[in-house]
Structure 1
Amino acid sequence: MVKARELLKKNIMLVALVVITIIFAIGTEGTLLVPQNVTNLISQNGYVVVLAVGMLICILTGGNIDLSVGSVVALVGAIAGTLIVNMELNIWLSILICLAVGILIGVWQGFWIAFVRIPAFIVTLAGMMLWRGVALIVLDGLTISNFPQNYLKLFNSYVPDVFEGEFNVVSVLIGVVICLVIIALQIISRINKKRKGYELENLISTLIKTVAICGVIIALTVTLGRHNGFPMILILLSVVVIIYGYYTTKTVPGRYLYAMGGNEKAAKLSGIKTNKVLFLAYVNMSFLSAVAALMCVARFNSAAPTAGTNYELVAIGACFIGGASAYGGIGTVPGVVIGAIFMGVLNNGMSIMGIDSNVQKVVLGLVLLAAVAFDVISKRRSKNA
C-alpha cells in the first residue's frame, strides 16, 4: 500500500494528464484524439517543450527563471526573416547565424547573472524589454512573411512513407523501433544496477510502466499514420528531450545542476564551479530560445514583432506543472514534457469545446497555482515528518 501511494505520488501529473485527456476526449466527442488534431497539438506545442526544457535547466540551479525567452524568440525570428526572406541568404547559413545570435544573447545575460551576480529576475526582465525593442528595430514594426519552401519543409514536413497507401506504415515502424530501444534500455539498466549492487525497482511496476509507455507510443504512431505520418518536428523534439534527459541524469555536469539547486554554498565548497554552471544554464536557455524561434517562424510562415508574447510564462508553467520545484534542485525532463502536453491538451480541449479564452486563462492559472502549492505543501510535510 505504501509503495503504491509513493508510486502514485511520483506520477501524479501523468495520472492527471490521462484523466484530463479522457475528460476532453468525451467532452469533444472524440475530436481531441482525431489524427489531424493530434498532429496539430504536436506542431502547436513544439516550442513549449523546447523552451520548457531550457527553463528547467535554469530552475534547477536554485529556482531561477528567464523572463526574456519570448523576446529572444521574437528577435531571432526577426533576424531569420531578414536573412532568409529579405536577403535570400542560404538557409543553413542563416540558421547558424540565428543560433549564434541566441548563444551570444545567453553569454550577455549569463555574464551579468553568474559573474556580476545581479539577480536573474532583474537581468532577464531587462532582456525582455531590450530584445523586444531590438526585434522591433530589425523588423521596423512590420511582419516578414512567405519563407521559402525548402526552409518550411525542415519543420513542417513528414517522414516519407516508402509504402503506397492511405495508412503511413513507416510511422508505426518508427514507433516499434522506439519501443524496442526503450525495452533494451530498461533491461540494460536493471543488469547494470544488479551488478553494482544498487536497489532494483519492483519488476512488476517496471513492466507495467514499460508496457504503458510503449502502448502510448504505438497508439500515437498509429494515430499519426492515419493522417500524414510522423512529423519532422516530432523528431526534433525527441532529439532535444533525449539529449537533455541524458545530460541531466547521466552526466556529471548535469548532476551539478541538482547539487547547486539543493545547496549552492555546499556545492561550491565541494569543488563545483557554481558560477560556470549558472552561466551555461542561461547560455543554453537562449540557445534553445533560438531553436524555438526557428520552429515558430516556420510554423507561422512569418516573423512578426509580436511573436513570442508570453512564451516565457508558458514555459515556466510547463516546468512547475511537470513537477519542477520553485526552490530549485528538483525536476526532470520527462516531467516537463508531461507539463507541456498537459497545458496543450487543456488549451486545445477547451478551445474545441468553445470555452471562452478568458475562462481558459483562469483555469490555467488555477492549475499552475495548484501544482506549486502541491510542491510547497509536500516539502513542508516531509520536513515535519
Structure 2
Amino acid sequence: MEKVKNVMQWGKILLPLSSIRFYPPQFVLRDPVLEGVTAAINNGQDVAVIVFNLKDISNIAEQLGHVQYGQLLKQIKKAFQMTIKQHIAKQDIITLHDFYSDGLTLFIKVDYMHHSLSEINTIMGKIIYHVEKGLYPLYPSLQPQFESGYMFVEKQSFSVLHSVESARRQALAMAEKRVKSEWNEMVHSIKKIVSKQEIKLLAQPIIDVATKEVRALEMLSRGPAGTVLESPLSLFSVARQTGMLYELELLVFEKVLEQIKATRCRQNIFVNCTPLTLGNIQFTRDLKKLMLQYPLISPAQITIEITENDSIDGLKNFIYNIKMLRLMGYKIAMDDTGAGYSSLSIISDIMPDIIKIDRSVISNIDKNSVKESMLQGLMLIAREAGSLVVAEGIENEEEASVLKRNNVDLAQGFFYARPTAFVKKTS
C-alpha cells in the first residue's frame, strides 16, 4: 500500500492528476507531428502532407529477403532525410515520419499566399530524383523508384489528429492511385464539382494606394462548403493530381462571367490561371466560345493573372496564347513576383500589364530595409516593362505606409478588405 501511495505522489509531480485519470500513458507522450501541425495552424499556416512510396514494394522485398530489405528501408529514410534538408527550408519542415514502413510521410508548413501547388510538385520531383539517383549505384539490379502524392490538413476539423490521418490517407491514395480507394472517390468528387459547377467565388478588392479607391476585384475560388475540397489548396491540388485542372480553371472563368453578368459589375476583374492551363492549345478557342455567351462583357474588363511558379519550358503554346489573349483584348498580370527566380525570368518574355509583388516581400517590410530595397528594385523592373504594380498581402497600416512612400500603384490585403461574396443587384 505504501508503494502505491509513493507512485501516486510521484505521478502528481510529473503529470497533472487529470492526465493520470483520463489519459492512457501513450497519449501523454510528446507527438512531434501533432505538435508541429497544431503550431503551424495556430500561426495561420497550412500544412501539406506529402507521401513518398517505394514502387513495386512486394517484389523488391521478395528479391532482397527480410534482412537486406530492412537495410534498404533504412537507407531510403536516410536518403530522404538528407535530400529534404537540401531542398526545403529548415523552418518549413515539421517532420519526416515513417508510419510502420508504409512509405515515408513529410509534413511541411505552407503559406498558400506565396507557396504554389507547382512549387510542391517541383519539390517532390527534385527529392525523388536525387533519392533515386543516390540509390541506383547501391541497387543497380533493382533501380528503386518512388511515387508521391500530397494533401492539405483540414484546418476547421474538430480534431487535429483526425485531420492529419485523413490528409495522409488521401495523400497515399494520390500516390498509389489505387483501384477502389479514396483515389477514385476524389476523382469522382472533382468531376462532380466540375459537371455540377459546385464552386463559389469570393471577391477581394484591389485598392489604389494613393486614393484608397477600389480599382479592381480579384476572384477567389472555393469548393463545396463543409467538404475537404472547400479549401482552394485542396481543391486545386486534387484537380491537378487527377488531371482535372484545366476543366476546373475553365469552370472558374465561366463562373466569373456569370457573376459579372448577374451583378452588372463594371469593375476590372482579375481571374487566376496557371501556366499549365494557359499553355493548353485549346485555351484561347475555349475562352472565345465562353465569351460568345456573354456578349455584353468585354475582354478589356478582365485581367488574366498568371499564378504559380511553373516553368514555361516545354509549354510551347504558352507565349503564343499570351499574345493571342492580348490581341483579344485581355490584360495580363504576373503573380508572385519576387517569390522566386522563375517569376522574374519570364517578365521579359511576356511583358505583363501588371506585376503583383508577392507577400513574402511585403510582410514586415516596415521593419526590414532590405525588403524595402527589394520592393524598389522590383518597381524599377516594372517601370522598365511598362507594368503597373500591385502589392499583395498588406496586413497593417505600417506596411501600407511603406507602399505609399514608394509610390506603389495598387495593393490588396486584409488591411484594406477581406474576400467577400458578390451581392446581386436588384435594380
Category of TM-score, reference length = shorter chain = under 0.3
TM-score normalised per structure 2: 0.20
- Higher strand proportion (structure 1 or 2): 2
TM-score (norm 1): 0.21
- Higher relative contact order at CA 8 Å, sep ≥6: structure 1 or structure 2? 1
Higher helix share: 1
